[in-house]
Amino acid sequence: MNLAKITALSILFTVILSIHGIYTLLQCIASQNQLELISYSYKSSAGTSSIYPGSRNVELNVIVQSLIEEDIIVSAACLQLPEGFTISRGSTQCSPPYTPNGTTYVIIKQGDVITFKYRFDVESTISPGRYYASIIVYYSEGGIEQRQTIEGIEIYVSQYPELYIDVIDWYWSPDAYPGSQNIYLYIVLKNVGDSAIIQAEGVAKFQSDIFTPSNIRFRIPSLEKYATTSISLGPLSISPNAIPDILYRVELVINATMRTDDNVIYTGKVTKPFSITLSSAPLINLAVLDYGFESTRIVENAIQTQFYATIINKDFKTVRSITAYFTILSPESSFINKTKNAVNIYRQVLNYGDIATLHSPPMIIGTTDRVNIELKLIIFGEDNGAEFWSENTYYFTVAVNKPYINLVITDIYWLDGEIYPGSENARLAIILENYDVVNVVDVIALIELPSNFYPNIIRLTGIDIPRGSRSTLVFSGISISNRIKPGVYEAILNISGIAIESTGTFYRFQNNYIFTITISAPPNQSILNVIEYGWVSKKAYINSINSRFYVYFMVSEPGIRIQNPIFMIHLPKQMIFQSINRSISIPINGAFGYGQAIYLEVPNIDIVTPDEGVYPVIIKLRALVIGVEEFWHEETYTILLPIYSPRLNVTLIDSGWWNKISSPMTSRAAIYLTFQSLNIDTLNSLIIQVELDGVNAKFIDGRNTSIYIVTNPINYGNVFTAIFADVEI
């Protein structure tokens, strides 16, 4: 058949079909419902009953039963979808009739069940909800084309499945304790939702005052339904203030890209809270091997000493660092800054069996017999990679002794040889040897001498006695009373200073010693000889006043000097000093050596005896003798001084009237008497008394006596005249 014929036949067939369709349409409109909707079903491309916005290739099966008595021929049933639904690509809107076993019908009898099959897509823009579709069945009955619309097909578009994730387990790696650092929280998640997770991102929110950082981002890989995965959050640091075994809330805020069973892609969000706990920090066995103070001696008032505790790690856990809190519980002691608390940090790593010594800052030990110390160790440790903080507390009591330094007196002697009663400026030497292990500096040596030693207390300062050395203490300027008796006397030596140890610790100390010193008996010998003595005026007379005597002494002992001798003069009862005393002391300044003379003159003596004679005068010498040794010497001397009765040897060599007498009756006449002194001694004054008879002559005032006083010195052979005036004749 040629092409022109074929084309003509095709056009003719199309026209016949069009006329037949118009006729059939008119017949269907007029027909009654002879086909009954039995059931319908749809399922997603994954075979599930749920469909969602965006589902593709949803399979719809509509089951219809023919109630028509006549046999019919069904050509097709066309699906009428609501807005937002479209026929899937590769499918048609109209379905042929299928038998229950899946073959197509040719003739349909009354009661036959017919299945129509479709595939459609759900637009992703529609909202979830109920939608209604219908089918139009085209069939012929008795050669007449008819159609019937069957409605009541409900399509439910579901909400997207929510994101459901369960925390089915969690654990720390390494274990988490208060104070742990750089640890990770591992969380096992299970997808319990109806969609697979393509990918997800989230933020884990922790309690901000306990965990650092408090927000950590994480990712979840592809996770199918009911599958599990784990995420790690970290590194995390935990506050040391955290409390073990209580619940801490964690929130997982997850944003996910999801996929339904039929491959619809959408997003979901969920906040998943759950709780975690921390483990109690493990105890670590740090045993104390030794403790005490670094100083050699633990004594009162020690300064700059350090408390120490030596510990050993008896645990298999590793100690990374130790913070040691030292607290002094004793009220009398403190650290060098006057506080009771101090802290030191030790970054020494201690494995099993390792030893460390912890030192406190420098301390001051007060006046006490013990020091109580609390040592709290905040330990940062590690156990199988898990870092933790642990706390150990120890209490110590250390006995404190009185400070004493082993300074020994090895010798005591007088530097100047023997010392006697009366010695002055003596020097006492005391040798101290330091048998101790500490150095002694800034020593104050104080000696307390017995009574009759002057001064009673002598102090030396600025003395250093290093360990293993000696020092000679010389106490100078000691004077011994001459009233003291020779013998052995006790004295006290007080040594106070600062002891310095090799560790730098120092403390004050005070040692007291009782020792003896010997005062020797002075040599029994005379050191002065009396070589001359007498009255300065050659003679002294009964009733003489202001007399004086002299004595010449000579130093008779070679090798000595007499320093500033003092002479005590004791007069007999026949004499008295003008001070109304019979004893006086006369010091003489100077130093007198062998063969030198000492001149002593004793003035102001009045003779009070009426009897002439020779009378003893006692002279006591007290002098500082300086020689090989220095001492006070006392010696007594007796001299005999004569006292004479005075004899006035004056001769009258002339007398008469001083003025001429012209008559027997004369007034205011004057008498003169001329004398010559034959006394060897000088007459310092002279009183001459004249007495008239009182009858033929008398003085003008009626007296018959008168005196004349000579005040000029009169020496031997001098002539002098006494004139008596106012004589009445």
Beta carbons within 8 Å of 94's beta carbon, 6+ residues apart? 76, 77, 78, 79
Residue with token string 């390792």: 354
Same domain, 263 and 347: no
Specify the CATH number for the domain of residue 136: 2.60.40.10
Confidence of residue 26 (pLDDT cuts 50, 70, 90): very low
> Is the residue at 233 inside a domain?
yes
> Is the residue at 181 inside a domain?
yes
Angle at 695 between CA 689 and CA 697, to 5 degrees: 55
Average pLDDT over residues 71-93: 95
Same domain, 353 and 431: no
Q: Regarding predicted confidence, which is higher, 729 or 172?
A: 172
Helix, strand, coil in percent for the chain, rounding step 5: 5, 55, 40
d(CA 626, CA 75): 166
pTM of the model: 0.52
Same domain, 302 and 249: no
Report pLDDT digits (tens) over 385-417: 777 888 899 999 999 999 889 999 999 999 988
> Is the residue at 11 inside a domain?
no
Same domain, 580 and 689: no
> Is the residue at 9 inside a domain?
no
The residue type at 626: I
Same domain, 143 and 41: yes
Same domain, 370 and 436: no
Report pLDDT digits (tens) over 113-123: 999 999 999 99
Last residue of a domain, one of 124, 157, 190: 157
For 265, half-sphere exposure in the C-beta direction (CA atoms, 13 angstrom radius) is 4
Burial class (CB in 10 A: 0-12, 13-18, 19+), 603: middle
Which pLDDT does position 32 carry in this prediction?
Answer: 54
Q: Is the pLDDT of residue 2 over 70?
A: no
> Is the residue at 82 inside a domain?
yes
The answer to whether 44 and 263 are in contact (CB under 8 A) is no
Q: What percent of the chain clears pLDDT 70, i.e. is strictly above it?
A: 95
Same domain, 41 and 148: yes
Q: Is the pLDDT of residue 30 over 50?
A: no
Last residue of a domain, one of 228, 247, 276: 276
Per-residue tokens: 614: 């020779």
Q: Regarding predicted confidence, which is higher, 634 or 184?
A: 184
Which pLDDT does position 416 carry in this prediction?
Answer: 81
How many structural domains does the chain have? 6
> Is the residue at 1 inside a domain?
no
Q: Residue 401 is inside which H or E element, if any? A: none
| Mean pLDDT estimate for the chain | 89
52 to 62, 225, 492, 525: CA distances (angstroms): 20, 17, 114, 146
Same domain, 151 and 101: yes
Same domain, 145 and 242: no
Q: Is the pLDDT of residue 514 over 50?
A: yes
Average pLDDT over residues 312-320: 93
Report pLDDT digits (tens) over 469-479: 999 999 999 98
Confidence of residue 281 (pLDDT cuts 50, 70, 90): confident
Q: Is the pLDDT of residue 5 over 90?
A: no
The answer to whether 443 and 497 are in contact (CB under 8 A) is yes
d(CA 380, CA 179): 8
Exposure letters 117-132 (e unless 16+ CB within 10 A, then b): bbbbbbeeebeeeebe
> Is the residue at 687 inside a domain?
yes
Q: Regarding predicted confidence, which is higher, 392 or 628?
A: 392
Which pLDDT does position 664 carry in this prediction?
Answer: 75
Q: Regarding predicted confidence, which is higher, 678 or 116?
A: 116
Average pLDDT over residues 209-220: 96
Full domain range(s) for residue 200: 165-276
> Is the residue at 66 inside a domain?
yes
Report pLDDT digits (tens) over 576-603: 999 999 999 999 999 999 999 999 999 9
Which pLDDT does position 33 carry in this prediction?
Answer: 63
Q: Is the pLDDT of residue 1 over 50?
A: no
Q: Regarding predicted confidence, which is higher, 132 or 382?
A: 132
Same domain, 152 and 174: no
Same domain, 34 and 150: yes
Same domain, 34 and 151: yes
Last residue of a domain, one of 106, 127, 157: 157
